[in-house]
Structure 1
Amino acid sequence: MTTNLYLIRHGEALSAIQGTIGNSELSPLGIVQAEHLRDRLAATHEIEADVLMASTLHRARQTAQIIAPALDLPLLLDEEIEEMRPGGTDGMSVEEYRTTFGRADFKQYPLTQPAPGGENWGEFQLRVGIALERIIRTYEDKTIVLVCHGGIIDSSFIYFFQLSSLAVPQAGFRTRNTSITHWQKRGPERRWRLIRYNDALHLHDIGTPARIPWDQIRAIPASDEERPGDQVPTEEHQ
């Protein structure tokens, strides 16, 4: 049996272009990004999902609502896959936030509270780890789609690779809006493997006169289907 976990980052948010902190909706570009992802998924059927779940924050929920017709699933909401919570700062500009509370240095002080009611690095990692554990256990051997945030996707690497949750990794991530990250657990060892990260090919034709012909593209590369069923020695111990 196989468990597939797809993590999709929301489209561009209004707050990102306005320089504010808070629970904003998608920008006009963010809506287009989500629509391009929807069209891709509807044409390729590359994600045959059993569960569609989204963060309760507007930008993630709106993205999920746009792509939901392509997956033909009801949308479930889960507040535990929200982005790191900044505290009572909704609508505050980034400049005002930093003037008021300073810039949180989680690399040096991971347990520092960034603002009243906000989460520190350790609290955020604990919440994400508990949420992912709960979701993959609840929907074991199913295909799960979570429409969430860059911080959730970054934290999935810490969770699955069992890295320290109290230390910010030296290497960072730059997860693109509406990109797809795919984790899979299969085989006799039932180990999680990263299948793909930051797949945002559907964004490449935005603003161009051509559209990617998704209905002419295979959902699974032919080279994957031609691979032998048994793992090669280098894969067995990874």
Structure 2
Amino acid sequence: MTTNLYLIRHGEALSAIQGTIGNSELSPLGIVQAEHLRDRLAATHEIKADVFMCSTLHRARQTAQIIAPALDSPLLVDEEIEEMRAGGTDGMPAEEYQRTYGPIDFRKAPLKQPAPGGESWGEFQLRVGTALERIVNTYEDKTIVLVCHGGIIDGSFIYFFRLSSLAVPQAGFRTRNTSITHWQKRGPDRRWRLMRYNDALHLHDIGTPARIPWDQIRALPASDEERPTEPVPTEEHQ
């Protein structure tokens, strides 16, 4: 049996281009990004969702609603896959936020709250790990799609690779809007494996006169059909 977990980052948010903190909707570009992902998924059928969830935040929920027709699965909302909570600062300009609360180096202070009611690094990573543990155990052997945030996707690496939740990794990630990250658990060892990260090919034709012909592209590379169903011995110990 196989469990597939697809993590999709929301489209570009208005707050990202306005330089504000908080729970904003998608920007015009963010809407186009989500529409291009929807068209890709509808044509390729590369993700057959048994479970479809999104964060409660506007940018994630709006992205999920746009791509929903391509997945044909009821949309569930889960507040535990929200981005790191900054506290009661919705709509505050980022510069004012910095002046008011000051910068925080989570490497030196992983348990310090960024603002009243906000989450520390350690609290956020605990929430991410707890949420992913609950979701993959509840829906084991199913295909799960979460429309969430860059922080959740970054945290998935800490969770699946069992890294310390109190130490900010030396290497980081640059997760693109509406990109797909795919984790899979299968085989006799039942270990999680990263199948792909930051797959945002559907964004490459935005602003060009051409469109990617998704209906002429395979859902999986042809070479995947030649791979053994079970991992070969060298893969089992990676």
Q: How many pairs are equivalent?
A: 238
**Corresponding residue SS for 1:117:** coil
Q: What TM-score does the superposition give when structure 1 sets the normalisation length?
A: 0.99
Distance in 2 between residues matched to 1:102 and 1:80, nearest whole Å: 26
Question: Cα offset for 1:233?
Answer: 3.0
Q: Which residue of 2 aligns with 1:115?
A: 115
What amino acid sits opposite 1:210 in the alignment? A
**Corresponding residue SS for 1:15:** helix
Distance in 2 between residues matched to 1:107 and 1:90, nearest whole Å: 25
What amino acid sits opposite 1:12 in the alignment? E
Q: Which residue of 2 aligns with 1:235?
A: 235
Q: Which residue of 1 aligns with 2:181?
A: 181
Distance in 1 between residues matched to 2:137 and 2:43, nearest whole Å: 30
Distance in 1 between residues matched to 2:73 and 2:230, nearest whole Å: 34
Q: What TM-score does the superposition give when structure 2 sets the normalisation length?
A: 0.99
**Corresponding residue SS for 1:48:** coil
What is the CA RMSD across the aligned residues, in angstroms?
Answer: 0.7
Q: Which residue of 1 aligns with 2:22?
A: 22
C-alpha distance after superposition, 1:102-144 (max 9, x if no partner): 0111011101111000000000000111100000011000000
Distance in 2 between residues matched to 1:80 and 1:229, nearest whole Å: 34
Moved over 6 A (4+): none
Question: Cα offset for 1:220?
Answer: 1.1
C-alpha distance after superposition, 1:47-88 (max 9, x if no partner): 011011000000000000000000011110000000000001
Distance in 1 between residues matched to 2:156 and 2:205, nearest whole Å: 28
Identity %: 88
Distance in 2 between residues matched to 1:24 and 1:161, nearest whole Å: 31
Distance in 2 between residues matched to 1:226 and 1:129, nearest whole Å: 34
Distance in 1 between residues matched to 2:67 and 2:237, nearest whole Å: 37
Q: Which residue of 2 aligns with 1:134?
A: 134
What amino acid sits opposite 2:182 in the alignment? H
Question: Cα offset for 1:234?
Answer: 2.0
